[in-house]
Amino acid sequence: MSHLAAKFLLVPFPLVLLAACEQKNETSAANATLMATPRPSATASAPTATAYDCRPMLKLSAAYDNSGATPKVQLTIGEKMYELTEVIAASGAKYATDRGRAPGKTLVWWTKGRDGTLYEGKVGGTDVDEKEISSCSERKG
45 and 67 Cβ atoms separated by less than 8 Å = yes
**65 DSSP β-pair partners:** 72
Question: Tell me: the pLDDT tens digits for 106-118?
Answer: 999 999 999 999 9
120 and 127 Cβ atoms separated by less than 8 Å = no
Question: Tell me: the pLDDT tens digits for 2-37?
Answer: 554 444 444 444 433 334 444 444 433 333 333 333
Exposure of 135 by Cβ count < 10 A (0-12 exposed, 13-18 middle, 19+ buried)? Answer: middle
Question: Tell me: the pLDDT tens digits for 54-95?
Answer: 999 999 999 999 888 999 999 999 999 999 999 999 899 999
Please report the pLDDT score of residue 18 as a whole number: 37
Question: Which residue pairs, CB below 8 angstroms and at least 24 apart, start in 38-46?
Answer: 38/66, 38/93, 42/66, 42/71, 42/93
Please report the pLDDT score of residue 88 as a whole number: 92
Please report the pLDDT score of residue 19 as a whole number: 43
**134 DSSP β-pair partners:** 118
Question: Tell me: the pLDDT tens digits for 92-104?
Answer: 999 999 999 999 9
Please report the pLDDT score of residue 113 as a whole number: 94
87 and 97 Cβ atoms separated by less than 8 Å = no
